[in-house]
């Protein structure tokens, strides 16, 4: 059989979707290449330096990558691509950070020439404090993170073999009722082997359990950084119900209360809070205020720049990043690789769906037209206003009602970005609304009522994008989004993927105004999910009339 892929000399890989070997090829390519485009028939991957270093750090050597490319490619693989794979993979490990007898660190190169080359870069030179010999430079422990970051910038990733501090001890184990699934065990083993790294699992697959397993394995005080107050509450619930940790050993460091306990949960928002715009970040020292042995970065793709700087200072701590997608719209994936750790575990969403561990989701983009008057208003609007006008098209209100009526009896989320639009929908649907202005206690009460089946519909803004556990939701209608954010699209679908009783199905609808910038943005948003094997059916609003129930 001819191969499903075409490898080109610019390091792009074209993968034919209709080929019988597509799924197996995609699983191989995602180990060492990044998805760039995913239209209907041919997906485009790109082999990059960071993607190859991630593969090398995860134990996939250059010969395994070149063999995979040769087996997948329909035509001979261009020799320069094979050479690039070999050379770039070989860079990982040629520089190592190791502990020295004097308590400091040493940067060890495999040749004297390599050490001279990297030391000539200004970004690197200022972080070195002399040398022991021709292949060994002295490094201050305080410069560990900054040096790793600088070396990646100049194209020479360093393998960090220096030991980690154990941190203060903490006795706990997983509760007897908790049984790790096979993929969660694999993820935990990968984290143990890496010492510091990122686990990528879809929403609903139990990333929190992987974090709890790491705490139980390491038996040390732990700092958990997550995205919002709802996630803080969720982590605390999971710790108290799924491990044997004493309740008095779990605390939160948030705007609500500031507790420093053996296991402390905080948020990115609090860590990056500063009283004045030109002032410092008074809470960033939380990373160093206890003897943490482990730092867990939940939703690591959200890591803001000030926290990157803080984690650069604490490279002696073990680190675990958890995320559904490593996509960052700011292109800062190399910083995650450097300062949190390389991707150490990933699995295809569809594989977990086929095994029944997450719900099977059907995705549809429903296109709706402007009325004639609003179409003219859109045409005359300033460019920066056009996206908002398309996203808040009033025709989406009735369309949302139609879609919800197709799934009567199933709990649904209506998700959007523009608060006024959501207020109108909440009033029309007679459903509660949660936005950033909703008090934390009221949010928690509404989430609990939804979980308990008391609320059939909940209208939510961007505050529900991340780390929110609503397992009973099986329908989502996305009425507006944040431009072309692939990250947001994946997270919003993730609200539906918790396993469901019965048929284990879910439906994800995105409403898009036809022939506008919003339609173009929707195409960009869907790219990451296409990599995971999800396909969007494009419907017209007219296709939904008359309403047909979907069981």
- What does the pLDDT average to over 202-226? 94
CB-count burial class (<10 Å; 0-12, 13-18, 19+) for 102: exposed
CATH topology of 182-347 equal to that of 353-544?
Answer: yes
Instruction: Look at residue 491 in the predicted model and tell me its pLDDT.
Output: 78
Q: Render 76-114 in DSSP notation, one character per residue.
A: PPPHHHHHHHHHHHHHTTTEEEEE-TTSSEEEEESSHHH
pLDDT at 337 over 90: no
Q: pLDDT-derived band of residue 194, with 50, 70 and 90 as boundaries?
A: confident
Laid out side by side, the sheet with 222-226 consists of 250-253, 263-267, 222-226, 294-298, 318-323, 196-200, 343-346
Instruction: Look at residue 65 in the predicted model and tell me its pLDDT.
Output: 98
What is the DSSP code (8-state) at residue 139? E
Instruction: Look at residue 107 in the predicted model and tell me its pLDDT.
Output: 97
**Digit-coded pLDDT (tens) for 10-22:** 999 999 989 999 9
**Digit-coded pLDDT (tens) for 163-189:** 999 999 999 999 999 999 999 999 999
Tokens for 294, please give them.
Answer: 């482990």
- What does the pLDDT average to over 322-348? 79
- Taking domain 353-544, whether its CATH number is 3.40.50.300 is answered by yes
pLDDT at 547 over 50: no
Relative to beta strand 475-478, strand 505-513 is parallel
Reference 95, options 148, 144, 44, 143; nearest CA is 148
pLDDT above 90 coverage of the chain, percent: 59
Instruction: Look at residue 548 in the predicted model and tell me its pLDDT.
Output: 43
Domain map of the chain by residue range? Answer: 5-91, 95-160, 182-347, 353-544
Instruction: Look at residue 414 in the predicted model and tell me its pLDDT.
Output: 95
Class of the domain covering 182-347:
alpha beta
pLDDT at 468 over 50: yes
- What global pTM score does this model have? 0.79
pLDDT at 475 over 90: yes
**Digit-coded pLDDT (tens) for 61-107:** 999 999 999 999 999 999 999 999 999 999 999 999 999 999 899 99
- Compute the mean pLDDT over every residue in the chain, rounded to the nearest whole number: 89
| Lowest-pLDDT range of 36-40, 53-57, 153-157, 441-445 | 36-40
| Lowest-pLDDT range of 32-46, 67-81, 111-125, 364-378 | 32-46
Q: Are 405 and 536 in contact (CB under 8 A)?
A: no
């Amino acid at each position: 059989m001819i191969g499903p892929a075409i490898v080109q000399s610019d390091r792009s890989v074209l993968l034919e979707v209709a080929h019988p070997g597509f799924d197996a090829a995609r699983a191989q390519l995602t180990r060492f290449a990044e998805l760039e485009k995913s239209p209907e028939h041919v997906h485009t991957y790109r082999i990059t330096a960071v993607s190859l270093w991630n593969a090398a750090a995860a134990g996939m050597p250059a010969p395994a990558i070149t063999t995979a490319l040769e087996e997948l490619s329909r035509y001979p693989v261009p020799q320069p691509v094979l050479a690039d794979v070999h050379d770039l993979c070989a860079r990982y490990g040629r520089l190592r950070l190791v502990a020295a007898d004097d308590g400091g660190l040493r940067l060890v190169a495999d040749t004297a020439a390599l050490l001279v080359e990297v030391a000539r870069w200004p970004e690197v030179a200022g972080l070195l404090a002399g040398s022991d010999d021709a292949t060994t430079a002295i490094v201050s422990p305080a410069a560990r993170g900054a040096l790793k970051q600088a070396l990646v910038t100049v194209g020479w990733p360093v393998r960090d073999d220096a030991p980690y501090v154990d941190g203060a001890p903490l006795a706990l184990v997983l509760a007897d009722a908790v049984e790790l699934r096979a993929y969660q065990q694999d993820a935990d083993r990968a984290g143990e082997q890496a010492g510091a790294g990122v686990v990528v699992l879809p929403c609903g697959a139990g990333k929190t359990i992987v974090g709890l397993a790491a705490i139980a394995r390491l038996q040390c005080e732990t700092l958990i950084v997550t995205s919002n107050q709802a996630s803080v509450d969720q982590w605390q619930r999971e710790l108290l119900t799924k491990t044997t940790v004493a309740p008095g050993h779990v605390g939160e460091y948030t705007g609500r209360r500031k507790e420093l306990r053996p296991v402390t949960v905080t948020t990115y928002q609090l860590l990056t809070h500063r009283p004045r715009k030109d002032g410092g970040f008074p809470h960033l020292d939380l990373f160093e205020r206890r003897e943490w042995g482990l730092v867990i970065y939940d939703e690591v793709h959200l890591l803001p720049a000030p926290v990157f700087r803080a984690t650069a200072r604490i490279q002696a701590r073990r680190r675990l990043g958890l995320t559904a997608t490593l996509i960052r719209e700011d292109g800062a994936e190399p910083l995650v690789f450097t300062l949190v750790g390389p991707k150490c575990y990933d699995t295809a969403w569809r594989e977990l769906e086929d095994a029944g561990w997450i719900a099977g989701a059907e995705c549809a983009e429903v296109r709706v037209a402007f009325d004639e008057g609003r179409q003219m208003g859109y045409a005359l609007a300033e460019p920066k206003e056009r996206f908002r006008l398309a996203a808040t098209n009033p025709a989406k209100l009735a369309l949302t009602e139609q879609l919800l009526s197709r799934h009567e009896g199933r709990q649904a989320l209506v998700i959007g970005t523009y608060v006024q639009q959501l207020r109108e929908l909440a009033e029309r649907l007679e459903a509660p609304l949660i936005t950033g202005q909703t008090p934390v206690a009221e949010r928690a009460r509404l989430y609990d009522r939804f979980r308990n089946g008391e609320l059939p519909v909940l209208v939510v803004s961007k505050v529900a994008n991340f780390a929110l556990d609503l397992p009973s939701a099986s329908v989502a209608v996305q009425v507006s989004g944040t431009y072309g954010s692939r990250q947001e699209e994946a997270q919003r679908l993730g609200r539906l993927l918790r396993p469901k009783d019965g048929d284990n199905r879910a439906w994800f609808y995105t409403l898009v105004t036809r022939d506008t910038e919003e339609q173009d943005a929707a195409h960009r948003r869907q790219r990451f999910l296409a990599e995971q094997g999800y396909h969007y059916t494009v419907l017209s609003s007219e296709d939904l009339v008359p309403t047909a129930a979907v069981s």
